[in-house]
Amino acid sequence: MARPDKAAAVAELTDKFRSSNAAVLTEYRGLTVAQLKTLRRSLGENAQYAVVKNTLTKIAANEAGIALDDQLFAGPTAVAFVTGDPVESAKGLRDFAKDNPNLVIKGGVLDGKAMSADEIKKLADLESREVLLSKLAGAFKGKQSQAASLFQALPSKLVRTVDALRAKQAEQGGAE
């Protein structure tokens, strides 16, 4: 029978897995408390970084319906639970890992799908959601202005064609 404190920890981790958009598992061996504090700040307000017990985290992930590879739970593990933009948090982890090689990104989950460490690094290379949305809006605006120009050109071309026909008929009528 599970101890009440462990059952509560599993329930809390399960809730975090279910309520977050993404979760990134890392190994933090060799980082100081001050470095972990800096890491937590660099992740932003939309992420919570917690040192966890491997067995309890594995049980919580299974209860949340997330299948994670057992290799992710080797060594000391901490999880960044992301409730906002996962790209921002992935960038924070990547940038911190560049400056502090003791932080190792093991893998994670994005919208219920397991991701490898390489996939998380690719996610970090993406532009932020706001930048992507503004680029999309710019593309739509460009297409709309092209369509407006096309629709505006059709009537004016029709008028020029009709004027040319009138001039040709007047010319032919005057020649007869």
**Are residues 92 and 103 both part of a single domain?**
yes
Domain residues for the domain of 30 are: 1-125
Cα–Cα distances (Å) from 92 to 29, 113, 138, in that order, read 18, 21, 27
Per-residue pLDDT tens digits of the chain, which is 176 residues long: 468 888 888 888 888 888 888 888 888 888 888 888 888 888 878 888 888 888 888 888 888 888 888 888 888 888 889 888 888 888 888 888 888 888 888 888 888 788 888 888 888 777 767 777 887 888 777 777 777 777 777 777 777 888 888 888 888 876 55
Report the number of distinct structural domains present in the chain. 2
Which pLDDT value is given to residue 1?
Answer: 41
The alpha carbon dihedral of 125, 126, 130, 136 has a sign of positive
**Are residues 107 and 135 both part of a single domain?**
no
**Are residues 33 and 119 both part of a single domain?**
yes
**Are residues 79 and 156 both part of a single domain?**
no
**Are residues 67 and 153 both part of a single domain?**
no
Q: Which two tokens stand for residue 61?
A: 């992930």
3-state secondary structure of 176: coil
**Are residues 16 and 77 both part of a single domain?**
yes
**Are residues 103 and 78 both part of a single domain?**
yes
3-state secondary structure of 169: helix
**Are residues 3 and 83 both part of a single domain?**
yes
Rounded to the nearest 10°, the torsion over CA 92, 96, 97, 103 is -100
**Are residues 90 and 157 both part of a single domain?**
no
**Are residues 149 and 83 both part of a single domain?**
no
Q: pTM to 2 decimals?
A: 0.66
Which pLDDT value is given to residue 30?
Answer: 85
Domain boundary among 87, 106, 125: 125
Domain boundary among 125, 141, 161: 125
